[in-house]
Amino acid sequence: LQSKLPNVGTTIFTRMSAMAAECGAINLSQGFPDFEAPLGLREALARATMEGHNQYAPMAGLPALREQLAHQLQVTRGVRVNPDTEITVVPGATEGIYCAVMASVRSGDEVVVLDPCYDSYAPSIELAGGVAVHVPLSEDGFTPDWQRIRAAITSRTRMIMINTPHNPTGSTFTVQDMDELERLVEEHDLLVCSDEVYEHLVYDGKRHCSVLQWEGLRQRSFAHYSFGKTFSVTGWKTGYCVAPPALTAELRKVHQFVAFVAVTPVQQALADFLAAEPNYPQGLGAFYQAKRDLFIYALRDSRFAITPSSGTYFQLLDYSAITSTPDHQLCEQWTRELGVASIPISPFSQEPPERQVLRFCFAKSDEVLLQAAEILCKI
């Protein structure tokens, strides 16, 4: 078989989590919490399956869940979304993103991605027959460089993919960035695939900027969310996509033949939990900011240079004062020799990274974070 993705191997998350397990290392690599999801949510899942929510849901998702989501979007973002025509529940944001790309990108279309970017974007674009045009984020702060982005737009550009809060760097878009993006996509008639899975994990009084809040963006965007992040259930693989009716209709045409539906009892549990605890997502920012701060404080005497993450549950540590070893080698070496696993950022970019940084996930219990920091301080 001639591979359709000749340059793709097994994802860095799978490889580093496996290496961490093999070495008995503290696993701050793949992004997932090491603590339990809210008890009420787990009980709701048990109840949902015991009460018979075990057959196919409607293709677009359970109406009760989509209604809760529309209500949430009104409360948290101040936007009105029609749950019937604009929300689709999907088996994970990864599938939602894939379907949005498949529905929009034709052979030869160019899609701008901002490096470093999440590892599923470029392969999704390639499988659709498109071309990923990689534009690096600015070196310091990993923020969008609008001049370079503008210079990358051609008559074949169909879509731009953005991710705020940003995995792997923890940077976030500002209001000015969103204004720039809106001008750009209106001028060039582009679609936007906006990965907002970490929307509630924003720190230091900053506010998440969603494409749903800019009218010009709202009309052209697929916005993607993941319950895995918001409710600490990455293994439930459920998310949703918000897009205007015409885009949603096209996304659903693909979704119905990729997965058809997301898992029914999981959707019922999420709908029940959101009805009982509608403010739960709003508490996440403070919860994770405390974890970030604990981790950074515990590293205060280390040799790492640290710029606090603005969002996500990832913290970059700059190791340039310690060694010039390339990031992918160093993260394997430290997993084996020190017993702390992290993620290199080079697999997220086309070009080798300018900065010498590794990504550490702080969605872990305080004890685990302190234990890892103690080891990292000895380097």
Residues at the contact surface with ligand PMP, assessed by CB under 6 A: 31, 92-94, 118, 163, 167, 195, 197, 226, 228, 234, 237, 239
CB 198 within 8 A of CB 106: no
- Please give the structure tokens belonging to residue 246: 């015409």
- Which residue's CB atom is positioned nearest to ligand PMP? 92
Closer residue to ligand GLN in complex, CB, 171/268: 171
Closer residue to ligand PMP in complex, CB, 195/327: 195
Residue 205 CB: number of other CB atoms within 10 A? 7
Q: Which helix (H) or strand (E) holds 113?
A: strand 110-115
CA 167 to chain centre: 6
Q: Which helix (H) or strand (E) holds 27?
A: strand 26-27
CB 29 within 8 A of CB 342: yes
Torsion of CA 10, 107, 100, 216, to 10 degrees: 130
Closer residue to ligand PMP in complex, CB, 228/298: 228
Which one of ligand GLN, ligand PMP, none interacts with residue 195, CB within 5 to 8 A by kind?
ligand PMP
Instruction: Output phi, psi for 152, to 5 deg.
Output: -85, -10
Residue 289 interacting with ligand GLN (CB under 6 A):
no
Q: How far is the CB of 197 from ligand GLN (least distance, A)?
A: 8
Which one of ligand GLN, ligand PMP, none interacts with residue 11, CB within 5 to 8 A by kind?
ligand GLN
CB 217 within 8 A of CB 192: yes
Which one of ligand GLN, ligand PMP, none interacts with residue 194, CB within 5 to 8 A by kind?
none
Residue 15 interacting with ligand GLN (CB under 6 A):
no
Closer residue to ligand GLN in complex, CB, 167/310: 167
Q: How far is the CB of 224 from ligand GLN (least distance, A)?
A: 12
Closer residue to ligand PMP in complex, CB, 197/298: 197
Q: How far is the CB of 221 from ligand PMP (least distance, A)?
A: 15
Closer residue to ligand PMP in complex, CB, 214/231: 231
SS3 (DSSP) at 33: coil
User: Looking only at residues 17 through 56 of this chain, which bind ligand GLN when binding is defined by CB under 6 A?
Assistant: 30-31
- Please give the structure tokens belonging to residue 79: 């936007």
Q: How far is the CB of 281 from ligand PMP (least distance, A)?
A: 15
Sequence-ordered strand ranges (E) for 187-282: 191-195, 221-226, 239-242
Residue from 348, 375, 343 nearest 360 by CA:
343
The site for ligand GLN (CB under 6 A) is made up of 11, 13, 30-31, 167
